Amino acid sequence: MRKLIYYVATTLDGFIAAEDGTFDGFVFEGDHMQALTEEYPETLPVQFREMVGITDAPNRHFDTVLMGRNTYQVPGGLPSPYAHLRQYVISSTITGTPDDVEVISTNPLEKVRELKQEDGADIWLCGGGRLAAELLPEIDGLLLKLHPVVFGAGIGLFDGKVDTSRFQLTDVRRFDSGVAFMTYAKS
């Protein structure tokens, strides 16, 4: 069975974006970027893949991406940011997306359960915090790109009321940039 993996950058104080939804404070230079490009090429938007010359890189971990409306509509974003994946946006207000971006307007938990029953690679939960809180019962693992910054306020990793859930740390990778990849499996 496929797994739902919440793969996201976070600050030391647990924010995935600033209060206005931007993420300029994250570290975008350093040795961790090479690891992202080589190991998780499918998690890079089309625009970045073109810029670094990896448009034909195979999907190594994920074949499907889920994102909330704010993540999908990030300023300067693309109408089809992950054209190399099946793309789903969870929103009750979005209309007029490209053909390769499907909008789920009701019951995202049910849709995730359906997707997990299909054959294929894992499902990437790209963001945002409110969606992660809603989908927490179905999240099988976390891959947190922990950045050595503090925002003080912003959009939380799980932005909303959630039931207590335990995860077990299964791997840590540290980079000279100060970023650490923290991998957790649901206990």
DSSP string, 96-148: ---TTEEEE-S-HHHHHHHHHHSSSSEEEEEE-HHHHHHHGGGEEEEEEEE-S
Does the CA dihedral 42-141-145-91 come out positive or negative?
positive
Instruction: Give the residue extent of every domain in the chain.
Output: 4-186
* 150 token code pair: 């503090």
Q: What is the pLDDT of residues 90-122, one digit of tens each?
A: 999 998 888 999 999 999 999 999 999 999 999
Burial label for 84, CB within 10 Å (0-12, 13-18, 19+), is: buried
* CATH architecture, domain defined by 4-186: 3-Layer(aba) Sandwich (3.40)
Position 75 confidence tier, pLDDT thresholds 50, 70, 90: low
What pTM value is reported for the model? 0.95
For residue 14, the tally of other CB atoms under 10 A from its CB is 17
